[in-house]
Amino acid sequence: MARAKLDRIDRRILNDLQSNGRMTNVDLAERAGISAPPCLRRVRALERGGIIKGYHADLSSEALGYSVSVFALVGLNSQAETDLKSFEELIATWDEVRECHMLAGEADFLLKIVAETWDDYQKFLTTRLTSAPNVSHVKSMMVFRTAKHMPGVPISTD
């Protein structure tokens, strides 16, 4: 995908929405230094262009009972494109897997997995992940603490 050509106003809009997706169009326009109608047109164009992919609430996993977060390095027996796609399609059906990244190096995928308890993760690991077709090995790394969590990308507003 080609890099989008964005002016200072577009970058300001993106920066503000990334920080607060619930910001009103009026507040967004004011911060960008334009009136509300052209601001809304810009936001819609950024959405249509695929730069703004969606909006979501940032939920507290702990408050909702998910006290265990694990990063799992997964190796597959085969790296044929059909096998990679099959694995991606399978894990897309597992709600516990919150992120999936294909890697180059010693592992094929990095998964972020959440569970209510360590026992729940172990059950998921042994009954689903390690027994999945084409999985050769899994290396689990439990998260003790998260010091920084910033979704999105840095946006220069200069």
> What residue ranges do the domains of the chain occupy?
8-48, 68-142
CATH class, 68-142 region: alpha beta
Tens digits of residue pLDDT in 46-99: 999 999 999 999 999 999 999 999 999 999 999 999 999 999 999 999 999 999
Confidence bin at 1 (pLDDT 50/70/90): low
Confidence bin at 2 (pLDDT 50/70/90): low
- Which tokens in the block code for residue 88? 């991606």
Side-chain half-sphere CA neighbours of 93 within 13 A: 8
Q: How far apart are CA 149 and CA 141, in angstroms?
A: 17
What kind of architecture, by CATH, is found in domain 8-48? Orthogonal Bundle (1.10)
8-48 shares its CATH topology with 68-142: no
Q: What is the pTM of this model?
A: 0.87
Q: Read off the DSSP letter of residue 52.
A: S
